Structure 1
Amino acid sequence: MPIDYDQLMNFDIPAVRQTYGAEEVARFGLTVGMGQDPLDMRQLPYIGALADDARAMPAIVNVLGHPGFWLGNPETGVDAVKVVHGEQGITIHRSIPNEATVVAKTRVTGLVDKGAGRGALLYYEKRICEAESGVHLATCRGTTFLRGDGGFGGPDGPVKQAHTLPETRPDHVFDTPTRPEQALYYRWNADPNPLHLDPRVAEKAGFERPILHGLCTFGLAAHALLAVMCDYDDSRFGSMDARFTAFVYPGETLRTEIWNDGSFRTRVIERDKIAIGNGLFKLRGAA
């Protein structure tokens, strides 16, 4: 049965209230490469190592108030086994507290029908606010490719356009080795998908072993941008948007190539594959 455009556009995704603290913040920082140099004083605040300086890594907003796999609800009409995470973006409006209670509300913002046999694009956003004050901390946004749901009679646009990278050589390069067990750690950031954990599931999906979570790869790129563009000052981190273009195996090394205008991409060095492409970063307050 084809999806119902109006029903999916107005699908009520329950708000999520979450209380988190130093343990969750430190765990997230460690899972995106913070602390690999335990003598780098700029990284230690993000993993709870300094008693007088504790900060939350900006990309933690991707896992705060996570609504779960709501597209798996049969009422959405979506073929849940054929969904692919295509794009991700975040905007940080206020520095993320090291501990807080937040409320996150996710909603569908767009739905594009690419035609029968060509799938559909679902756009969504998640707003994260402090529970008591209502202060808007961050907005996350993403694109999900619904491979099995094209041809339902919906609009054929507008389609989000990808950022074009400069043709010049990147101005900065930041390498981050991943660990063989990195996905086993990252799963505790609200993503227990067995594709990233169970070799049997990965093999059935066509991979030689479990792959790294896409949002972990995104977090590693965010780490590179925080280091290069912000000198590890989270108050300068504004927004980042990018496309997922290839998978990563835990244990591979990621090289994030960054231009001074905020353009970036992340490459798997061992296989020379672009894992994150068409990236654009902006400092907070930048137009």
Structure 2
Amino acid sequence: MPIDAEKAVAAEPRSTRISWDHKDVQLYHLGIGAGADPDRVDPATDPGELRYTLESRLQVLPSFATVAGAGVVGGLSSPGIDIDLAAVLHGGQSVRVHRPIPVKGSAVQSSKVAAVYDKGKAAVLVLRTEAADDEGPLWTNDAQIFVRGEGGFGGERGPSERQARPAVAPHHVVERPVRPDQALLYRLSGDWNPLHADPEFARLAGFDRPILHGLCTYGMTLKAVTDTVLGGDVTRIRSYRTRFAGVVFPGETLRIQMWTGENQVRVEVGAVERDGAPVLGDTFVEHS
């Protein structure tokens, strides 16, 4: 079997030192649409956007942790994992921050396969990365990776992320346009998959044109929630998780629906131009 679940989970974590500074943070924020908020009169100079783009006022969205270190593909080279990357789908993502991410930093990031679940027709790998600096833990990332055709080995099925949509109308609805060049800018933060830039490669993958990175949508959504519900204060965010429910094409518009509760925001995201086709589901932001 290409996936040896026991070997993969038992393998020692792989550690690497990572570092970042304000330029990395600014590039990431620009890649998820900072400075282009349609609700601002002049977004390029609006104080609410400058906290994402100007080094003297800079704060760091927790979703930056998904690009600060090694990407998902690196975790797929762990012992016990021997799979065809064409069968891989990024099914979900979660980030938990243990304290605010500094604008400039250096940390040791360790990566391991935290779990392997058997979904029948597919296997699900939970790839966990944890980062810590001299002051202690910074963040924990979990990427849920579906591997088609690798299930049926008799393993634990694992938890279900599906939850019923709230029965009441959302408390907030915002729309965020995806620029035609947004995937080209976002990929400069480290995800060089040609699926997001090369039309010929996208057609081979079954799409008529390149698609936006799921993690770009993920970041755009967290920024929208932060600005709409949390007063733009990223330090209030404790954790953020989502299930990737569909693709987004550059040039489309995200409709982001939010239901607010005690220390939690429930979110659903759809593509406006495709009658609200689901993009992110089962999405939650926990905050103080």
Q: What is the TM-score with the length of structure 1 in the denominator?
A: 0.91
1:66 maps to which residue?
70
**Percent identical residues:** 33
What pairs with 1:84-163 in structure 2 (closer than 5 Å)? 84-115=89-120, 118-130=121-133, 132-133=134-135, 135-153=136-154, 155-163=155-163
Structure 1 residue matching 2:256: 3-state secondary structure = strand
Q: CA offsets per residue over residues 26-65 of structure 1, 9 Å max, x none? A: 0011111111112321121211x253x2211221011111
Q: What residue identity is the alignment partner of 1:239?
A: S
Q: How does 1:131-210 map to 2 (within 5 A)?
A: 132-133=134-135, 135-153=136-154, 155-210=155-210
Q: Where do 1:16-95 residues align within 5 Å?
A: 16-36=16-36, 37-47=43-53, 49=54, 51=56, 53-67=57-71, 69-70=73-74, 71-72=76-77, 76-95=81-100
| 1:56-107 CA distance string (max 9 Å, x none) | 1221011111245131568512232201000111112211100011221122
Q: Distance in 1 between matches of 2:13 and 2:159?
A: 23
Shift of 1:195: 0.5
Q: Which residue of 2 aligns with 1:243?
A: 243
Question: Following TM superposition, where does structure 1 have runs of at least 4 consecutive aligned residues deviating by more than 4 angstroms?
Answer: 72-75
Report if aligned partners of 1:56, 1:97 keep a CA contact under 8 Å in 2: yes
- Provide the aligned C-alpha RMSD in A: 1.7
Which residue number corresponds to residue 264 of structure 1?
Answer: 267
Q: 1:258 to 1:66 in 2, by over 3 A?
A: same
| Residue pair 1:65, 1:103 contacting (<8 A) in 2 also | no
Conservation of the 8 A alpha-carbon contact between 1:112 and 1:120: yes
More deviation, 161-170/217-226: 161-170
**Equivalences, count:** 277
* TM-aligned CA deviation for residue 157 of structure 1: 2.5
Cα–Cα, structure 1 residues 183 and 220, in superposed 2: closer, same or farther, change >3 Å? same
Query: Is the 2:173–2:255 contact (alpha carbons within 8 Å) kept by the matching residues of 1?
Result: yes
The alignment status of 1:254 with 2:254, answered yes or no, reads yes
Identify the range of structure 1 (144-153 vs 263-272) with the bigger mean alpha-carbon deviation: 144-153
- In structure 1, stretches of 5+ residues that fail to align are none
Aligned to 2:40: none
Gaps of 5+ in 2: 37-42
Give the corresponding residue for 1:4.
Answer: 4
